[in-house]
Chains A and B, each alone.
Chain A
Amino acid sequence: MLEVRDLHVYYGGIHALHGISLRVPDGQIVALLGANGAGKSTTLRTIAGIVKPSEGDVLLDGESLIGLRSFEVVRRGIAMVPEGRRVFTNLTVLENLRLGAYARRDSNQVIQRDLQEIFNLFPRLEERKKQSAGTLSGGEQQMLALGRALMSKPRILMIDEPSLGLAPVLAQDVFEKLKELNQAGQTILLIEQNARAAMSIANYAYILETGNIVLEGPAAELAQQDEVRKSYLGVH
């Protein structure tokens, strides 16, 4: 289980996270929702070791990850799909995926098998594996970013706004894949602005407002609450 305790983050003078706490139990999809600038990406980036918190703790199975650099956090089993996908456009699709497995000590055979699994999940990537990642469409790049993160065989997969910039149909596709992955046992921490889609696949959800968690609960219950329906699901 991944646990965040009382996390405070400052960017210079800006207090971006005001002591947030959350838990991501094994095997679940946990959604972190909120408006622009609420601090969602900051939370993920802090867990990933990119941003250093001023206070608080991040624990993976009770062991603190604070102070680890981002490559060490990945090696502990937490992978992240960053906001805006950020695939390596100067590498081929295959190289992007292999880079995802960079830190693994497994034999080439095992990695080859996992690659095939990714290709089964995203057949488009296999068709384009020799192509430069820069030539992929936005949706394909999102698949690649997801596949790349999965290649590290993460215990916990963190995804920052997978639906960003995707047509609704494609976004729906991505959510289906996430659900599929979760059913196969993948633990997921999901950030989304599209709260409706996220709640439809999540077990549990947290709602972040200007650096504070203002609401939390099982996703199905949360989706019934009036405030949530008004502010986040666009129901009036």
Chain B
Amino acid sequence: MTLSLFFQHLANGISLGSLYALIAIGYTMVYGILRLINFAHGDIVMLGSYIAFYGVVMFFLPWWVSFPLAILLTGVVGIIIERTAYKPLREVPRINLFTSAVAVSFLLENLGLVIFGARPKGFHRPPVMDTVLYIGGAAVVSYTPIIILTALVLFGGLMFVVHRTKVGMAMRALSKDIETTGLMGVNTDQVITFSFALGSALAAAGGILWAIKFPQIQPLMGVMPGLKAFIAAVLGGIGDITGALIGGFLLGIAEIMLVAFMPNLAGYRDAFAYSILILLLLFRPTGIMGEMEPEKV
């Protein structure tokens, strides 16, 4: 393998990893706060890419309007889902909450099948994202660096919000102790809703970038990225945002490298991701960044 080919694979792995990471953040934030695996999160990814798609083909918006708008609207959908399907169930046993998340997932997928249709749709890459660049002798299509850069900007923004703003401080406190956060004068419901909006918006961004990378969308397209991102979140230590980023990048790079170096194993790519999950659960159940802390009782 030549060096330039290796870098091509690496770039590809990083861009896939950044998508996993974008989606993993939503899983990890919701888990950190509510101890809920938001089963519907992958379908939010799908929704984001469809809204962006229809913005362009049905409402003739330029992509640079349609994409941010789709991110915003998906954030709003996240709020609606949280308010209707999760918030009323916060005081009941957690299994009900989880069941509700599964129901939301099926609802979104089936609504997608009915409204958008089962047939895959071709997602139009904006021309700027579809030009071939030569970087140090290696040929890359411009969407790869654009995906990576966009993801990095979003991660930077997220880190700023979480670590440098008041609401971010409240989010971190909330993930430790909801009741005491309320005693600080924080409207905890509002902060939880905000976290859902943020996680859903990032998932939408992930969905749009996903559709740019693999330009075909269909109503079940969120399932696989959702599962992979979930694995990434567990890999990094679920509940920890930095962990989700690390887990996402690791998984993306590992997957691509597996296929690159052992092409005859390409068919085992997904099995590989699940094997990582199982090994992790056996040997380091708290993930890379997770604290070895006994579960709160």
Partners in one complex: yes
Q: Which residues of A contact B38 (CB under 8 A)?
A: none
Once the chains bind, are A99 and B182 in contact (CB under 8 Å)?
A: no
Q: Is the interface of A mostly helix, strand, loop or mixed?
A: loop
Q: How far is the CA of A104 from the CA of B184 in the complex (A)?
A: 10
Once the chains bind, are A80 and B172 in contact (CB under 8 Å)?
A: no
Contact with B along A190-230 (1 / 0, CB 8 A): 00000000000000000000000000000000000000000
Stretch with Cβ within 8 A of B (4 or more), from A21-29, A86-94, A163-171: A86-94
Q: How far is the CA of A49 from the CA of B188 in the complex (A)?
A: 13
Stretch with Cβ within 8 A of A (4 or more), from B110-118, B173-181, B276-284: B173-181
Once the chains bind, are A90 and B184 in contact (CB under 8 Å)?
A: no
Contacts A89-B176, A99-B170 hold; do A152 and B182 have CB atoms under 8 A apart?
Answer: no
A71 contact from B166, B169, B172, B188, Cβ within 8 A: B188
Task: Say yes or no: is A181 at the interface (Cβ < 8 Å to chain B).
Answer: no
Contacts A71-B188, A86-B177, A88-B177 hold; do A48 and B170 have CB atoms under 8 A apart?
Answer: no
Q: Least Cβ distance of A172 to chain B in Å?
A: 26
Once the chains bind, are A71 and B187 in contact (CB under 8 Å)?
A: yes
Task: Say yes or no: is A39 at the interface (Cβ < 8 Å to chain B).
Answer: no
Task: Say yes or no: is B186 at the interface (Cβ < 8 Å to chain A).
Answer: yes
Once the chains bind, are B184 and A152 in contact (CB under 8 Å)?
A: yes
- CB nearest to A78 among chain B residues: B183
Q: Which residues of B contact A79 (CB under 8 A)?
A: 183
Task: Say yes or no: is A126 at the interface (Cβ < 8 Å to chain B).
Answer: no
Q: Least Cβ distance of B157 to chain A in Å?
A: 20
Q: How far is the CA of A80 from the CA of B175 in the complex (A)?
A: 20
Once the chains bind, are A99 and B188 in contact (CB under 8 Å)?
A: no
Q: Which residues of A contact B172 (CB under 8 A)?
A: 88, 90-91, 95
B183 contact from A80, A89, A95, Cβ within 8 A: A80
Q: How far is the CA of A91 from the CA of B176 in the complex (A)?
A: 9
Number of A-B contacts (CB under 8 A): 67
Task: Say yes or no: is A65 at the interface (Cβ < 8 Å to chain B).
Answer: no
B185 contact from A75, A91, A95, Cβ within 8 A: A75
Once the chains bind, are B180 and A86 in contact (CB under 8 Å)?
A: yes
B56-78, CB < 8 A from A: none
B120-172, CB < 8 A from A: 166, 169-170, 172
A103 contact from B169, B176, B186, Cβ within 8 A: B186
- CB nearest to B167 among chain A residues: A102
Q: Which residues of B contact A88 (CB under 8 A)?
A: 172-173, 176-177, 180-181
Once the chains bind, are A71 and B182 in contact (CB under 8 Å)?
A: yes
Contact with B along A38-51 (1 / 0, CB 8 A): 00000000001110
Once the chains bind, are B185 and A102 in contact (CB under 8 Å)?
A: yes
Q: Which residues of B contact A100 (CB under 8 A)?
A: 184
Once the chains bind, are B184 and A95 in contact (CB under 8 Å)?
A: no
Once the chains bind, are A71 and B180 in contact (CB under 8 Å)?
A: no
Q: Which residues of A contact B187 (CB under 8 A)?
A: 69, 71
Q: Which of A69, A98, A99 has the largest count of B CB atoms less than 10 A from its CB?
A: A99
Once the chains bind, are A71 and B186 in contact (CB under 8 Å)?
A: yes
Once the chains bind, are A74 and B170 in contact (CB under 8 Å)?
A: no
Q: Least Cβ distance of B178 to chain A in Å?
A: 10
Q: Least Cβ distance of A80 to chain B in Å?
A: 5
Once the chains bind, are A102 and B166 in contact (CB under 8 Å)?
A: yes
- CB nearest to B166 among chain A residues: A102
Q: Which residues of B contact A95 (CB under 8 A)?
A: 169, 172
A58-93, CB < 8 A from B: 69-71, 74-75, 79-80, 82, 86, 88-91
Once the chains bind, are B186 and A50 in contact (CB under 8 Å)?
A: no
- CB nearest to A104 among chain B residues: B185
Q: Least Cβ distance of A89 to chain B in Å?
A: 7
13 contacts between A and B (CB under 8 A): A69-B187, A71-B182, A74-B185, A79-B183, A80-B183, A88-B176, A91-B169, A99-B170, A99-B173, A99-B184, A102-B169, A102-B184, A103-B186
Other than the given A86-B180, A103-B186, 12 more pairs (CB < 8 A) read: A48-B183, A74-B182, A80-B183, A88-B172, A91-B173, A95-B172, A99-B184, A102-B184, A102-B185, A103-B185, A148-B184, A152-B185
Closest 6 pairs between A and B when the two form their complex, measured CB to CB: A103-B185, A74-B185, A70-B182, A86-B180, A99-B184, A88-B173
